[in-house]
Chains A and B, each alone.
Chain A
Amino acid sequence: MSRVHSADELEVCEEVGRGGFGVVYRGIIKATNEEVAIKQIDLENDQTDLFEINKEIQIISECRLEQITGYLGCFVKQYKLWVIMEFVNGGSLFEMLKPGPIHDERTILIIVKEILVALEYLHNQGKIHRDLKSQNILLSKGGEVKLTDFGVSTQLSSNFSRRNTTVGTPYWMAPEVILNNNGGHSFKADIWSLGCCAYEIFNGKPPLQNHFPPMKALRQISRCHNNEDFVNIIELSSMEISSVFRDFLEKCFIVDPKERFSAIKLLNHKFIQKYDKSTEKFKLVKSLITKKQLWDQENHVIKNHNFYVPTEMVKNQKKWRGEDDEENNQFQFDISLISGFPPSPKTSRESSRSPGGQEKSKSPEKNNASINLQSLMKTTTKQDQFKKTIRPEFHRILNKVFHKLETKNSLTTQQYDLLVSLNNDLLNLFSFTQSSDPNEQGNYKKILVFQHLKYFLKEISKSNDIETYGPSNSKVILQKLIIPSNFNVGQRQVSEATPERGGSIREFDEIENSLFESWIDKMNEKWA
């Protein structure tokens, strides 16, 4: 595939995922009809660091390997960076595990082997992935296995130096990474994570996840000093697996990174050497995807279709809602006194004396914006806009809530059906109300379901009666049950709304700063 140079070459389709940095869409190269993944990074977001992003792009642009998602170019559009990557159409390994764990060791070894090939390639170039987990392993419908998401990966400029930062996702983290000893991160941390992935494929969850919350798991991992320690906590001996697979996992879970096997050494391990028929390779991975698709159908999992909306539109809507505010924030300075710049404003004294005098170089831009606004207003009414933009988002959130409920609880069929119909009802209530207030501005109508939710939240969060009724008040109990403890509306950024990937990393950083560091200190003292 050739390089993509601008947004004009692409058709942007539905959202396929969200990472720490931004939203990923499926796209199509208009000229060739090839599918691509488009990662849009909001550069105005406070969380993004241009240098960090650049590092990631450098690393992915330096990788050309069948087992690593290919890089197809990137460019800046307004204040967003578009990174174009190869699209892998089957979904992530994490998704594949939703129907249940995979016990077939041939399938496990094929996936593990492909990832080992990718790791060997990376490590050989002095690169460390640092966040290897099932979400970052993608499968294509053709049966390929690909490593992706180099968001926190790093480039060692020399094989001797090591990175000293703690990144990764708790359950997949190697002990030396958590304790930041032995010089911190080395290549071997990826191998530990690979072992966790292999374990995860067989058990459905990474080691310790079924028994410990993230911070406790970290503590458990960091307490492992001997090779048997970790193997014992995860009860490796009671897993019903072949002895070569068990041996393979033991080699991944060697606590001392120096002793832990390298990618090349593991590629020569008996487990990996056991089956190596490339024809079977594609077949087995394909059957995983088919199994997942069947499961989706049986479980009524509706694929979310969130179609891409260019930001300009959303921004314009904000403008319509609060045009006055915008005006106030726009500020013009009088720079007429200063000469020597090409787009020089009026130099006559009259204009320079008036405070807030218009600055010429800015005004054409503004005119353009208002022309755009008007032409948009003509072609689409506000209600249509809402239907196109807000409704899919609402739908997505509802789906997400549903999946969360479903994964965290074991629902009965009746509960399941009721939830499905509740979601449908909510979605059907996405209709515009006729305002009873004649003074209400023009065609600005409210959406019934949102009004309903708003009133509900208002009622539930009214706090003044706590004192009058005491803590046993049924309303307080309701509040406690319904309102999340860390609830603060409006404060959270969009990117944080999905805590799976980016969120978990950030969360850990916070904890690391307070609790965790002091705890490590204490531990170190003990050993000293």
Chain B
Amino acid sequence: MTFLFKRNPKNPPELIKALNEQVLKLDYNSDSNKKYQDECSRFLKQVKVILHGDDENEPQPDQISQLALEIYSTDCLYNLMVNLKKLDFDSRKDVVILFLTLLRRQIGSKSPTVEYILNQKPEILGLLIRGPESSEIGLICGQILRDCIKFESINKFVLHSSLFWNFFKYVQISIFEIATDAFITLHDLLTNHKKLVSEFLARNYDNFTSSINKLIQSNNYVTKRQSVKLLSELVLRRQNQAFLNQYFDDTNNLKLMMILLSDKLKNLQIEAFHIFKFFVAKPKKSQKVLDVLIKNKKNFIAFFDTFDIQSDSTTIDERDYVLGEIMKLPDIVRSE
């Protein structure tokens, strides 16, 4: 009940000022760090009440707009992001609520927070992208970033940042939830805005393919499976045509899928099949791809004869189609 005895900020601007003050004082090495943390936590809770109300009070629009203006003009979000790790465990989650509420706020057709971030403090995005580097705040940053990239302009900014490629490292971090969280963000970055991504993939074919292929070759089951799944999702998109044409002409990719098809684990096999089928179904195949398919004709026929797909009738139809296409391929004629 400490707050009963302390002076409380009277209005939203004062509250944000007080919050900023305490956030900037946070310091691991200081003896009074705990005191600053508690103060931050207290102010953040009050911010939350202004934004969402509580049992007795409904949120007041004019209070919210005062609060937002003060937050932009004092770079409060930036301050919070820089010092996120120094806040206590539960306060960090209040930062998420504050950030996301502001992010969703619209005035007419404008999203003031999105504009603020992109025009005034894009450094915030850099901090968010690099979140997985810290096990303490990785999940918090992931949560915020995923909400940010729902806005196409921010998604574009992230894709065009050199930091984007860090995600291929982050998804291999040994802490499971951090790695998976980074994967979800990577997935969202590449699937939220179709047109944006199709341009991106077309321009970055080499870089992207080698990055995702490395993940597919990972020893970690989860990394392997998630990356194949992401790839098959991208491959299903007609918008990604330019990328697909290159991808399915590349025998390296074909080889990778053949290795996965021969994997012992059923789910990996099936995921691989959903990419492999496009190599076979593509109308104009590159000569190299055709060569590999022809040379393995017998193997494929034997393989698909026994390829076990449980009760999923579309996949069975697809398998039969693939098998039929392979049968139509010419046999190898021995040249001796």
- One digit per residue, 1 when the CB lies within 8 angstroms of any chain A CB and 0 when it does not, for chain B 168-211 equals 00000011110011001000000000000000000000000000
Contact A334 B221 (CB under 8 A): no
CB of A98 within 8 Å of the partner chain:
no
Choice from A62, A75, A79, A330 contacting B265 with Cβ under 8 Å:
A79
Contact B184 A359 (CB under 8 A): no
CB of A405 within 8 Å of the partner chain:
no
- One digit per residue, 1 when the CB lies within 8 angstroms of any chain A CB and 0 when it does not, for chain B 215-241 equals 000001110011000000000000000
CB of A374 within 8 Å of the partner chain:
no
CB of B97 within 8 Å of the partner chain:
yes
Shortest B295–chain A CB gap in Å is 6
- One digit per residue, 1 when the CB lies within 8 angstroms of any chain B CB and 0 when it does not, for chain A 333-363 equals 1110110110000000000100110010110
Residues on A with beta carbons closer than 8 Å to the beta carbon of B285? none
Separation of A158 and B52 alpha carbons in the complex (Å):
9
Residues on A with beta carbons closer than 8 Å to the beta carbon of B251? 337-338
Shortest A316–chain B CB gap in Å is 13
A333 touching B220 in the complex, CB below 8 Å, given contacts A79-B265, A338-B252:
no
| From A57, A61, A333, residue with most partner B Cβ within 10 Å | A333
Contact A333 B296 (CB under 8 A): yes
Interface of A is mostly: loop
- One digit per residue, 1 when the CB lies within 8 angstroms of any chain B CB and 0 when it does not, for chain A 122-137 equals 0001100000000000
CB of B66 within 8 Å of the partner chain:
no
Chain A stretch 39-77: residues in CB contact (< 8 A) with chain B: 43-44, 46, 50-51, 54, 57-58, 61-62, 64, 73-76
Shortest A3–chain B CB gap in Å is 8
CB of A5 within 8 Å of the partner chain:
yes
Tell me the nearest residue of chain A to B292, going by C-beta. A337
Shortest B184–chain A CB gap in Å is 7
Question: Which segment, of B3-11, B73-81, B125-133, B299-307, faces chain A?
Answer: B299-307
CB of A16 within 8 Å of the partner chain:
no
Shortest A39–chain B CB gap in Å is 13
Contact B295 A337 (CB under 8 A): yes
CB of B291 within 8 Å of the partner chain:
yes
Residues on A with beta carbons closer than 8 Å to the beta carbon of B303? 331, 333
Choice from B220, B225, B266 contacting A50 with Cβ under 8 Å:
B225
Residues on A with beta carbons closer than 8 Å to the beta carbon of B266? 44
Separation of A356 and B262 alpha carbons in the complex (Å):
12
Contact B258 A262 (CB under 8 A): no
Separation of A359 and B101 alpha carbons in the complex (Å):
54
Separation of A341 and B217 alpha carbons in the complex (Å):
11
CB of B25 within 8 Å of the partner chain:
no
Residues on A with beta carbons closer than 8 Å to the beta carbon of B97? 125-126, 159
Contact A335 B104 (CB under 8 A): no
A158 touching B100 in the complex, CB below 8 Å, given contacts A75-B176, A332-B299:
yes
Contact B221 A58 (CB under 8 A): no
Separation of A341 and B214 alpha carbons in the complex (Å):
11
CB of A265 within 8 Å of the partner chain:
yes
Choice from B181, B265, B291, B298 contacting A58 with Cβ under 8 Å:
B181
Contact B258 A335 (CB under 8 A): yes
Separation of A62 and B138 alpha carbons in the complex (Å):
12
Shortest A13–chain B CB gap in Å is 22
| From A64, A78, A329, residue with most partner B Cβ within 10 Å | A329
A125 touching B93 in the complex, CB below 8 Å, given contacts A331-B262, A338-B292, A341-B255:
yes
Contact A338 B254 (CB under 8 A): yes
Shortest A449–chain B CB gap in Å is 31
Contact B262 A81 (CB under 8 A): no
CB of A264 within 8 Å of the partner chain:
yes
Contact B139 A328 (CB under 8 A): no
Contact B222 A361 (CB under 8 A): no
Contact B180 A50 (CB under 8 A): yes
Contact B174 A359 (CB under 8 A): no
Separation of A132 and B147 alpha carbons in the complex (Å):
29
CB of B90 within 8 Å of the partner chain:
yes
Residues on A with beta carbons closer than 8 Å to the beta carbon of B176? 57, 73-76, 81
Chain B stretch 49-81: residues in CB contact (< 8 A) with chain A: 52, 55
CB of A157 within 8 Å of the partner chain:
yes
Residues on B with beta carbons closer than 8 Å to the beta carbon of A5? 174
Listed by A's residue number, 20 A-B pairs whose Cβ atoms lie within 8 Å are A5-B174, A46-B267, A54-B184, A73-B175, A75-B174, A75-B176, A79-B221, A125-B93, A158-B101, A159-B52, A262-B55, A331-B302, A332-B262, A333-B259, A334-B299, A337-B295, A338-B255, A355-B299, A359-B259, A361-B259
Using a CB–CB cutoff of 8 Å, the interface residues on chain A facing chain B are 5, 43-44, 46, 50-51, 54, 57-58, 61-62, 64, 73-76, 78-79, 81, 125-126, 157-159, 262, 264-265, 328-335, 337-338, 340-341, 352, 355-356, 359, 361-362
Known: A157-B100, A361-B259, A362-B262. 13 other contacts (CB 8 A): A43-B267, A50-B180, A50-B225, A61-B139, A64-B89, A75-B174, A125-B93, A157-B147, A262-B55, A330-B262, A333-B300, A337-B291, A337-B292
